Amino acid sequence: MNEYHYTPCRFHFKNYVAGEFTASDKLFENINPVDGSIINHVAEADSALVDKAVKSAHAALQGPWGKMTMDKRCALLHKVADGIESRFDEFVAAEMADTGKSLFQARTIDIPRGAANFRIFADMVKSQSSDCFHTDTPDGKGALNYAVNKPLGVVAVIAPWNLPLLLMTWKLAPAMAAGNTIVAKPSEETPATATLLAEVMHAAGIPAGVFNLVHGFGHQSAGEFLTTHPGVDAVTFTGESSTGSAIMKASTDGVKALSFELGGKNAGIIFDDCDCDCDFDEAVAGTARSVFTNGGQVCLCTERLYVQRSIFDKFVAALKDKAEAIKIGWPLDEDTDMGPVISQKHRDKVLSYFDSTKADGATVVTGGGYPVFNDQRDNGAFVQPTIFTGLSEDSKIVKEEVFGPVCHITPFDHEDEAITMANDSKYGLAATVWTTNLQRAHRVSQQMEVGICG
Ligand code: NAD
């Protein structure tokens, strides 16, 4: 144990509405996925509290926040970043307790980037340009058209559990920098760092009502109360594609502005020109990172691999070695590479994919189950890093997002075949292409039907 040992100091996590921390009679449990213990209780916001949050966010648009200069607003956001950093160890401990992720990851990615988001967007918004163009008109006078950037109003921020502070602040910071007011809902699985953030906002002097935090679930809870609220002007959401679809339907009545970051079933293509010492090693190491980072629970993680046939066996064996070298364990151990998945419920989902993939006749290259520790971690939500081969492109493991530490590897002969298989997906989030041929890198990347290709 070290300074990151987490002892919750609050009886329960409260909502933060209109500048005040607000309790609720309805509490839900905050579970540590490392050992299944209850680390805290969380006050669930009912529809009346969500309504109060939205109304206070509206009122704040007319208050000091609405009249504040951009410089002053952005200086306050810098103070929020400073506030996160001054409580850095508390944020790290809270993120580890909620997610079970490793100390290394929480300390080097989640919390520093969460703080950095406030600085980056506060600085960026100051140099934001806008469009201006001239049009001819029939009277010959012409018209000068120019756009003025204005806040949208009240923005609902709905965040997932995989990178709780980082992904929530990635939405909050630009929205606040642009002058909007916020009602945010973290995932029910990860309420801790969002609650700490509310304390930091309060201490930094963010005016009451500008940032509101409501806890709860999605359907028939705080998430749905928020996205269907007529006073919400825009919704920014990160999470599953099916939830995005539900939110889009729910938002049609008020025609709210929407911004979504959704699921993926990302492909990685590995060409045999990588087959020389350090390039091969780099392709294997990079792919292992891209499959297993954060227990495979990153939207950009690769779950489908296509490897050129001449290096297929060699690549599968090398990735197997990498997977088996991953140290699964306590988040506080400095040498832990991978923690549990987020919850028992999610572990059941991941394991059900493992079972159905085995039943479909896949070859289990490594993993395929869960580790046994013979200590409290057996009550946690750990799964083994897993590699499958041997199934056809229409199988579930190739088609559906698992969001766990798993991939399926398929051989290919020709470039076109790999591109066709990689693009045969209802998702379109990310892809990776491993080659030493620069022409091929550009040619193939540009044919990937995704938002981002590495
Ligand atoms: P999720 O969709 O289950 O939940 C996300 C958030 O939406 C939670 O706060 C949840 O309470 C809320 N929610 C659920 N139903 C709702 C409803 N009907 N109305 C309003 N809110 C509702 O997603 P998750 O399991 O938390 O996260 C994992 C998913 O997120 C994966 O699919 C992953 O690919 C995706 N993700 C995408 C990105 C990206 O940038 N594209 C980043 C991270 C995660």
Any ligand 1 atom below 6 A from CB of 301: no
Provide the pLDDT for residue 4. 56
* Catalytic residue check, 3: no
Helices (H) and strands (E) in the chain, counts: 16, 19
Ligand 1 atom having least distance to the Cα of 401? 32
Q: How far is the CA of 417 from the centre of ligand 1 (A)?
A: 32
SS3 call for 169: helix
Ligand 1 atom having least distance to the Cα of 403? 31
Among protein residues, the one whose CA lies closest to atom 8 of ligand 1: 187
Q: How far is the CA of 365 from the centre of ligand 1 (A)?
A: 30
Measured between alpha carbons, how far is 254 from 141 in angstroms, rounded to an integer?
38
Any ligand 1 atom below 6 A from CB of 244: no
Q: How far is the CA of 260 from the centre of ligand 1 (A)?
A: 10
Any ligand 1 atom below 6 A from CB of 102: no
Provide the pLDDT for residue 2. 47
Q: Which residues of 276-310 are buried (b: 16+ CB within 10 A; e: fewer)?
A: eeeebeebbebbbebbbbbbbbbbbbbbbbbbbee
Ligand 1 atom having least distance to the Cα of 186? 9
Structural domains of the chain ordered from first start: 12-261 (3.40.605.10), 266-453 (3.40.309.10)
Any ligand 1 atom below 6 A from CB of 302: no
Name the nearest CA neighbour of 123 among 70, 181, 64: 70
Q: How far is the CA of 241 from the centre of ligand 1 (A)?
A: 8
Any ligand 1 atom below 6 A from CB of 295: no
Provide the pLDDT for residue 25. 87
Question: Alpha-carbon dihedral of residues 156, 453, 445, 390, nearest 10 degrees?
Answer: -110
Any ligand 1 atom below 6 A from CB of 219: yes
Both tokens of 173, joined, read 């910071």
Both tokens of 172, joined, read 């909050």
Provide the pLDDT for residue 277. 76
Provide the pLDDT for residue 12. 87
Among protein residues, the one whose CA lies closest to atom 38 of ligand 1: 299
Inter-residue contact 43 to 168 (CB < 8 Å):
no
Out of 299, 301, 407, 453, pick the active-site residue: 299
Q: How far is the CA of 64 from the centre of ligand 1 (A)?
A: 33
Any ligand 1 atom below 6 A from CB of 157: no
The H-assigned helical ranges of 10-149 are: 47-62, 64-67, 70-86, 88-99, 103-105, 111-126
Out of 189, 261, 303, 401, pick the active-site residue: 261
Any ligand 1 atom below 6 A from CB of 31: no
Q: Which residues contact 108 (CB under 8 A, 6 or more apart)?
A: none
Both tokens of 217, joined, read 């679930």
Q: Which residues contact 438 (CB under 8 A, 6 or more apart)?
A: none
Q: How far is the CA of 189 from the centre of ligand 1 (A)?
A: 11
Any ligand 1 atom below 6 A from CB of 429: yes
Q: Which residues of 29-62 are buried (b: 16+ CB within 10 A; e: fewer)?
A: ebbbbbbbeebbbbbbbbbebbbbbbbbbbbbbe
pLDDT (tens digit, 0 to 9) for every residue of the chain, 454 residues total?
Answer: 445 555 554 568 999 999 999 988 899 999 999 999 999 999 999 999 999 999 999 999 999 999 999 999 999 999 999 999 999 999 999 999 999 999 999 999 999 999 999 999 999 999 999 999 999 999 999 999 999 999 999 999 999 999 999 999 999 999 999 999 999 999 999 999 999 999 999 999 999 999 999 999 999 999 999 999 999 999 999 999 999 999 999 888 889 999 999 999 999 999 999 998 789 999 999 999 999 999 999 999 999 999 999 999 999 999 999 999 999 999 999 899 999 999 999 999 999 999 999 999 999 999 999 999 999 999 999 999 999 999 999 999 999 999 999 999 999 999 999 999 999 999 999 999 999 999 999 999 999 999 999 9
Q: Which of 98, 109, 158 has most ligand 1 atoms within 8 Å of its beta carbon, as the pocket-test mutant?
A: 158
Q: How far is the CA of 219 from the centre of ligand 1 (A)?
A: 12
Ligand 1 atom having least distance to the Cα of 161? 26
Any ligand 1 atom below 6 A from CB of 156: no
Annotate 368-422 with DSSP letters as a single string.
-S----SSGGGGS-----EEEE---TTSHHHHS---SSEEEEEEESSHHHHHHHH
* Catalytic residue check, 261: yes
Inter-residue contact 210 to 182 (CB < 8 Å):
yes
Inter-residue contact 304 to 291 (CB < 8 Å):
no
Q: How far is the CA of 168 from the centre of ligand 1 (A)?
A: 11
Among protein residues, the one whose CA lies closest to atom 22 of ligand 1: 218
Among protein residues, the one whose CA lies closest to atom 40 of ligand 1: 261
Inter-residue contact 151 to 180 (CB < 8 Å):
yes
Beta bridge partners of 307: 270, 411
SS3 call for 233: coil
Q: How many residues does the chain have?
A: 454
Any ligand 1 atom below 6 A from CB of 188: yes
Q: Which residues of 321-348 are buried (b: 16+ CB within 10 A; e: fewer)?
A: ebbeebebbbbbeeebbbbbbbbeebbe
Provide the pLDDT for residue 1. 41
Measured between alpha carbons, how far is 417 from 408 in angstroms, rounded to an integer?
17
Name the nearest CA neighbour of 194 among 114, 75, 74, 104: 114
Any ligand 1 atom below 6 A from CB of 239: yes
Give me the amino acid identity at 274.
Answer: C
